[in-house]
């Protein structure tokens, strides 16, 4: 329907003004005595005592404990621990490449969404799709599947929705196969969104941002101490922009209550709701097989009838039990619903258009992308136990757990042939956002549904073989059952659906993870690792035919050798790794099995080197650098009836040779801080299509985009921040599809004013 007729649905660091718990009441003996009791060997009776009981205890001599604390939240770009590997671990003890974008980095670059954050991590690219979904992510050249590779606090974050960053504490990226930890998926790696948690300090922050193209965003982060060991945190967000015609309108709310903090039994319960009502940016056809340099990246060539509507709502609950002997049991439950519908536009060039004759009067044709609507429900439960043990005279750090999920999805499509079902009329290059509103809207009808149950169990052990040597070994079992059904229609709106018989899929898989770590000093760690992963035929929620039900899972493996070092007394960290990621039985077609099953005869790989550097060069200079060189990424083997997308020897699309991001901050005065950086990739190509010469030769030239930031503190608690992204207003292809691309954001100015209290 026309947009006008639709019903619109409309962490901060401590400061002097913050109120710590100790300012509201004296330090409790129930906190001091357990520490002393544990030190004296009486930990079994010291947990979670009431103040009255604690007052009756014998006060032990004060014990001073010194340790190096990791900078957290907005204090630093550097991170030395991660929660991506089923619990908190030091990065040096993980034999895989991990990149962490802290809250300070996200705020300095004024990040709004997960997609924006991932632009600043090397080795990640984005695909455009016919149905307009914006979460088609590639890592090391392999899909980051929305069914298994996107995580929230270490648990699956399924479905495709506009992931906003307002509730992020950090974003963590683990590269390489990770099915041993997370189950199906995880070929190129996983992305973990770490959410803000309540803390024992009264502290609040409010920010207001205004910017280019009518941009307005308000966020609030409020944390209240509600008891001796309890706190409530509330994060809220509202964003609106006309964006040159591609409108943004969304709001979100995320309350979390946590109690028993630091005691034997710690609990939390949280809600999350995000509501999105956007007009998506239109795709642009390639001109002469490449990105049209004469098209302003801020121009919108869709219609006001385009839309992206979405809701994400879920409840999460966590419990941590700490045993007397040092073991810890962490259990999580999350259940939610996700609704999404989208109808976008692709603009193409009139016949005879070339780069030489492109002008403001050049005619652009506009057609509707395939409309799509999805509803998804997911419930996830996992429980992980960790403990340090002495077995056979060796230190063992054991990690084991189970997880289960129940998922349901329903999908609708719109009638008509893709690309011709909705002709949106012509416009010209010189008349973007021409106000066109269509009198028709997509008519949705059943397309497919899906339900599945999955169960996994794993065990992992990190063994201290010698003072400088550690061995990691892990094994996991997964079982998956799914039922699928789809509807087919003749190409007319009034025709009756023909439903396929319900198809069942059942798979069981074993995944493994191995690693050797050599740590000769507290500041250095070297590793060699091997891991496997698998993808079932149902990983896209659309392989519902008998042909795919009879196809076993695809399998992948990752080999990596790397080193992590800390410099300047721990203020600066570097990571370097060489890798080879290989899918060695990729799903392909073969005429001998047509209509019966796919064959697993395909093979492809990517190989390269990655480098990260984060931390402080000096008290005034701070650095974040992420770079990837991927010289090899190609199809090694294909089925006998392979399409052009799987030609042997062909370089895999969406895998540029060079990609990276850099950001440097300088504290010019006590009140003024300046920062700037770049991000970019070398020449990139879409996943190649199977028809048309243009789709086989399309490419996006390499680009480098520069950003800058200035922050001024009026007081310790009140500040202003000015960000300018894409300083040169460069036109570049950000999301790539064989037939079109979505341009990267144009020059954008944002001014933020915030205060903490």
pLDDT given at position 440: 80
Residue 41 has pLDDT above 70, yes or no: no
Distance, CA of 475 to chain centre: 25
* 743: phi then psi, degrees, rounded to nearest 5: -70, 150
Residues 6 or more apart in contact with residue 66 via CB below 8 angstroms: none
Sign of CA dihedral 161, 154, 127, 703: positive
Rg (the chain; Cα; Å): 27
Distance (Å, whole) CA 551 – CA 88: 37
Q: Which of 537, 375, 345, 546 is nearest to 447 (CA)?
A: 375
Neighbours of 538 (CB within 10 A): 25
* Local confidence band at 6 (pLDDT 50, 70, 90 cut-offs): very low
Strand-pair category, 307-322 with 283-285: unpaired
Tens-digit pLDDT profile for residues 607-659: 999 999 999 999 999 999 999 999 999 989 876 544 444 578 888 899 999 99
Mean pLDDT in residue range 452-468: 97
Q: In the structure encoding, which two tokens stand for residue 149, read together?
A: 């590779």
* Residue among 739, 753, 627 at smallest CA distance from 687: 739
Distance separating alpha carbons of residues 681 and 736, to the nearest angstrom: 13
Is the pLDDT score of 108 beyond 90?
yes
Percent of the chain residues topping a pLDDT of 90: 67
Task: Give the model confidence (pLDDT) of 699-726 as tens digits.
Answer: 999 999 999 999 999 999 999 999 999 9
- Asked which of 94-103, 252-261, 299-308, 695-704 is least confident by mean pLDDT, the reply is 695-704
Three-state secondary-structure class, residue 30: helix
Residue 47 has pLDDT above 60, yes or no: no
The HSE-up count of residue 665 (CA atoms within 13 Å, CB side) is 24
Q: What is the pLDDT of residue 755?
A: 98
**Predicted local confidence at residue 148, as pLDDT:** 72
pLDDT given for residue 16 in this prediction: 37
Taking the CA of residue 431 as centre, how many other CA atoms within 13 Å lie in the half-sphere pointing to its CB?
14
If one compares 420 and 223, the residue with the highest pLDDT of the two is: 223
Alpha-helical segments (H) within 521-560: 546-549
Residue 69: what pLDDT?
37
Do β-strands 363-368 and 150-152 pair in parallel, antiparallel, or remain unpaired? unpaired
What is the mean pLDDT of the segment spanning 483-496?
A: 72
Residue pair 308/302 in contact by the 8 Å Cβ criterion? no
Question: In this predicted structure, which of 46-55, 257-266, 533-542, 697-706 has the lowest mean pLDDT?
Answer: 46-55
Q: What is the mean pLDDT of the chain?
A: 85
SS3 of residue 443 by DSSP? coil
Least confident among 50-54, 431-435, 684-688: 50-54
- Pick from 646, 477, 556: which is nearest to 187 by CA? 556
> Cα–Cα distance between 75 and 222 in angstroms, integer?
18
Question: Which is more confident, 647 or 241?
Answer: 241
Q: With beta carbons less than 8 A apart as the criterion, state whether 163 and 192 touch.
A: no
More confident residue, 498 or 670: 670
- Residue 419: its pLDDT value, please? 43
Q: How far is CA 684 from the centre of its chain?
A: 21
Q: From 59, 26, 17, 165, select the one nearest 102 (Cα to Cα).
A: 165
Q: How far is CA 539 from the centre of its chain?
A: 17
Asked if the model's pLDDT at residue 415 lies above 90, the reply is no
Tokens 């059942």 belong to residue: 506
For residue 679, with 0-12 CB atoms within 10 Å meaning exposed, 13-18 middle and 19 or more buried, which class applies? Answer: buried
CA distance 19 to 21: 7
749 band by pLDDT with thresholds 50, 70 and 90: very high
Note the pLDDT tens digit of each residue in 267-315: 999 999 999 999 999 999 999 999 999 999 999 999 999 999 999 999 9
pLDDT band of residue 185 (cuts 50, 70, 90) is confident
Q: Are 638 and 646 in contact (CB under 8 A)?
A: yes
Helix %, strand %, coil % for the chain, to 5? 10, 55, 40
Range 96-103 average pLDDT: 96
Per-residue pLDDT, 547: 61
688-692's contacts with Cβ under 8 Å and 24+ in sequence apart are: 688/644, 688/645, 688/650, 688/653, 688/738, 689/644, 689/645, 689/738, 689/739, 690/643, 690/644, 690/645, 692/738, 692/739
Please give the backbone phi and psi of residue 712, each rounded to the nearest 5 degrees, phi first: -125, 130
Beta bridge pairs of residue 634: 605, 651
| Bridging pattern class, strands 189-195 and 150-152 | parallel
Residue 144's pLDDT band (cuts 50, 70, 90): confident
What is the model's pLDDT at position 132? 57
Domain boundaries, the chain: 71-306+337-352+361-371+392-443+474-492+515-756
Strand order in 150-152's β-sheet? 98-102, 168-175, 189-195, 150-152, 155-156
Phi, psi of 21 (to 5 degrees): -60, -40
Average pLDDT over residues 225-252: 97
Alpha-carbon span 175 to 578, nearest angstrom: 11
Confidence of residue 497 (pLDDT cuts 50, 70, 90): low
What burial letters (b/e) apply to 483-495, b meaning 16+ CB within 10 Å?
bbbbbebeeeeee
- Please report which confidence band the pLDDT of residue 75 belongs to, taking 50, 70 and 90 as the band edges: confident
Spatial contact of 276 and 250, defined as CB atoms under 8 Å apart: yes
Mean pLDDT, range 98-121, rounded to an integer: 96
Average pLDDT rounded to a whole number, residues 580-592: 76
Band the pLDDT of 50: cuts 50, 70, 90.
very low
Angle at 752 between CA 746 and CA 756, to 5 degrees: 150
CATH 2.40.170.20 given to domain 71-306+337-352+361-371+392-443+474-492+515-756? yes
Buried b (16+ CB within 10 A) or exposed e, 149-186: bbbbbbbbbbbbbbbbbbbbbbbbbbbbbbbbbbbbbb
Determine the pLDDT at residue 590: 52
User: Within a 13 Å sphere around the CA of 698, how many CA atoms are in the beta-carbon half?
Assistant: 28
pLDDT at residue number 373: 92
In whole angstroms, give the CA distance from residue 352 to residue 86.
Answer: 57
Lowest mean pLDDT across 212-226, 438-452, 558-572, 644-658 = 644-658
- Residue pLDDT, tens place only, 124-134: 999 987 765 55
Measured CA to CA, the distance from residue 540 to residue 329 in angstroms comes to: 32
Lowest mean pLDDT across 62-66, 447-451, 550-554, 637-641? 62-66
From the list 243, 570, 247, 116, the residue with the least C-alpha distance to 108 is: 116
pLDDT at 395: 96
**21 has pLDDT over 50:** no
pTM of structure: 0.88
Of 199-213, 419-433, 495-509, 710-724, the one with minimum mean pLDDT is: 495-509
- How many other C-beta atoms are found inside a 10 Å radius of the C-beta of residue 67? 5
Q: Residues 637, 649: contact at Cβ < 8 Å?
A: no
Q: Is-contact 326 347, C-beta < 8 A?
A: no
Task: Kindly state the tokens that stand for 616.
Answer: 């402080």
Question: H or E segment at 694?
Answer: helix 693-697
Token readout for 539 is 């990983």
Q: Give the residue with greater pLDDT, 544 vs 681.
A: 681
């Amino acid at each position: 329907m026309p947009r006008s007729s639709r019903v619109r649905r409309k962490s901060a660091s401590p400061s002097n003004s913050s109120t710590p718990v100790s300012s509201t009441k004296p330090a409790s003996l129930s906190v001091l005595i357990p520490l002393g009791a544990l030190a004296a060997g009486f930990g079994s009776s010291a947990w979670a005592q009431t103040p009255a009981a604690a007052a009756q205890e014998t006060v032990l001599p004060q014990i001073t404990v010194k340790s190096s604390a990791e900078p957290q939240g907005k204090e630093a770009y550097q991170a030395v621990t991660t929660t991506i590997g089923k619990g908190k671990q030091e990065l040096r003890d993980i034999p895989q490449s991990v990149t962490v974008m802290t809250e300070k980095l996200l705020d300095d670059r004024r990040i709004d969404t997960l997609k924006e954050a991932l632009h600043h991590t090397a080795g990640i690219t984005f695909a455009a799709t016919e149905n307009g979904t914006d979460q088609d992510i590639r890592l090391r050249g392999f899909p980051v599947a929305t069914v298994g590779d996107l995580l929230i606090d270490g648990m699956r974050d399924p479905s495709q929705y506009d992931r906003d960053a307002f509730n992020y504490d950090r974003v963590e990226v683990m590269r390489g196969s990770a099915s041993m930890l997370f189950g199906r998926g995880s070929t190129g790696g996983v992305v973990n969104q770490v959410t803000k948690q309540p803390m024992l300090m009264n502290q609040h922050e409010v920010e207001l941002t205004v910017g280019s193209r009518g941009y307005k965003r308000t966020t609030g982060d409020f944390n209240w101490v509600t008891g001796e060991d309890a706190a409530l945190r509330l994060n809220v967000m509202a964003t609106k922009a006309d964006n040159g015609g591609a409108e943004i309108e969304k709001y979100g709310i995320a309350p979390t209550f946590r109690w028993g903090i630091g005691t034997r039994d710690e609990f939390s319960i949280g809600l999350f709701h995000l509501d999105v009502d956007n007009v998506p940016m239109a795709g642009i056809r390639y001109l002469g097989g490449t990105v049209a340099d004469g098209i302003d990246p801020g121009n919108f060539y869709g219609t006001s009838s385009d839309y992206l509507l979405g809701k994400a709502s879920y409840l999460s609950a966590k419990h941590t039990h700490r045993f007397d002997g040092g073991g810890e049991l962490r259990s999580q439950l999350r259940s939610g619903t996700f609704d999404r519908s989208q109808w976008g536009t692709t603009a193409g060039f009139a016949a005879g258009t070339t780069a030489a004759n492109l002008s403001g009067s050049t005619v652009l044709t506009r057609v509707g992308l395939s409309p799509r609507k999805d509803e998804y429900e997911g419930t996830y439960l996992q429980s992980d136990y960790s403990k340090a043990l002495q077995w056979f005279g060796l230190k063992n750090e054991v990690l084991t757990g189970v997880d289960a999920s129940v998922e349901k999805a329903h999908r609708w499509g719109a009638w008509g042939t893709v690309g011709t079902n909705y002709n949106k009329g012509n416009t010209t290059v010189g008349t973007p956002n021409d106000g066109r509103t269509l009198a028709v809207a997509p008519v949705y009808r059943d397309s497919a549904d899906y339900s599945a149950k999955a169960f996994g169990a794993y065990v992992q052990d990190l063994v201290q073989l010698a003072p400088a040597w550690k061995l990691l070994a892990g094994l996991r079992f997964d079982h998956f059952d799914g039922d699928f059904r789809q509807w087919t229609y003749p190409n007319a709106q009034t025709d009756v659906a023909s439903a396929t018989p319900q198809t069942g899929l059942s798979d069981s898989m074993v995944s493994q993870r191995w690693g050797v770590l050599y740590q000769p000093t507290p500041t250095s760690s070297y590793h060699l690792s091997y891991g496997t992963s698998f993808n079932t035929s149902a990983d896209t929620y659309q392989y519902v035919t008998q042909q795919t039900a009879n196809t076993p899972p695809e399998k992948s493996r990752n080999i990596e050798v790397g080193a992590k070092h800390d410099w300047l007394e721990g203020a600066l960290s570097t990571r370097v790794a060489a890798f080879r990621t290989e899918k060695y039985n990729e799903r392909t077609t073969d005429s001998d099995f047509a209509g019966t099953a796919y064959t697993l005869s395909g093979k492809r790989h990517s190989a390269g080197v990655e480098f990260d550097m984060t931390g402080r060069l000096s008290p005034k200079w701070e650095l974040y650098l992420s770079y990837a060189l991927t010289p090899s990424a190609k199809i090694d083997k294909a089925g006998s009836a392979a399409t052009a997308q799987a030609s042997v020897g062909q370089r895999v699309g969406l895998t540029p040779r060079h990609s990276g991001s850099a950001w440097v901050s300088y504290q010019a005065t006590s009140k003024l801080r300046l920062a700037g950086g770049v991000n970019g990739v070398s020449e990139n190509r879409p996943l190649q299509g199977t028809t048309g010469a243009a789709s086989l030769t399309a490419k996006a030239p390499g680009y480098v985009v520069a950003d800058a930031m200035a922050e001024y503190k009026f007081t310790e608690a009140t500040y202003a921040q000015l960000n300018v992204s894409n300083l040169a207003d460069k036109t570049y292809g950000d999301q790539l599809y064989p037939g079109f691309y979505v341009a990267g954001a144009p020059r954008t100015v944002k001014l933020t004013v915030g205060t903490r209290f």
